[in-house]
Amino acid sequence: MTTCISMFWADADLAGLQVKARLSLRRKFRPVFVFLGIAAAGVLRADGQEAPAHLQQTALKAALKEARAVAALDAVSLIGMSVSELIENFGAPNTVYTSRGIEPWQDDVVFEYSGVDFYIYRDKVWQLGLDAGYGIEKGDPRAAVLLVLGEGAQDKEKYILGRLRDTSWPLEWRFNIENGKVSAIYLYRTDY
């Protein structure tokens, strides 16, 4: 179950453009897990007219940079958790299953909780499967992923990758795309 804990308007001024984005901060499970999503957004010029589309994208990226960093931080903190920490923080999983990799050594045990799958390798979480992450939800269009990830996005046709910077280990978002929409969301260590 998702609970809305705060809603606010963020204002920014970028190169003469005013940005208003209504942001909602939502928590899943316990207070550890935070997702940030955009409910509505608009960009206006100083004269009150709507800014051109290319300027709207630039302004929104700048206004949401800090919000995305906050959203990513909480998911990042879950990578590297031990099985005992996982159970201590979230209780017993709803389901435990195995995920078969291409190679036999790539098999994982997965603890499934509502909205998040924790992929475990050698007693540590190395990957998360999410319903929402980094301001993106399943069902969002490809264009939304590319906008949120910005210039660092790697569009591979069937999925889009976005590397996180300044983390303890190399981490990457993967947004699988089917029929132009997000079908799966993963955050994982690239060194596994």
pTM over 0.85: no
Q: What is the pLDDT along the chain (192 residues), one digit of tens a residue?
A: 333 333 333 444 444 444 444 333 333 333 333 333 333 345 555 566 666 666 656 655 555 554 444 445 578 889 999 999 999 988 999 999 999 877 877 788 999 988 789 999 989 999 999 988 888 999 999 999 999 998 889 999 999 999 988 888 899 999 999 999 999 999 999 987
- Residues 6 or more apart whose Cβ sits within 8 Å of residue 39: 7, 22, 23, 24
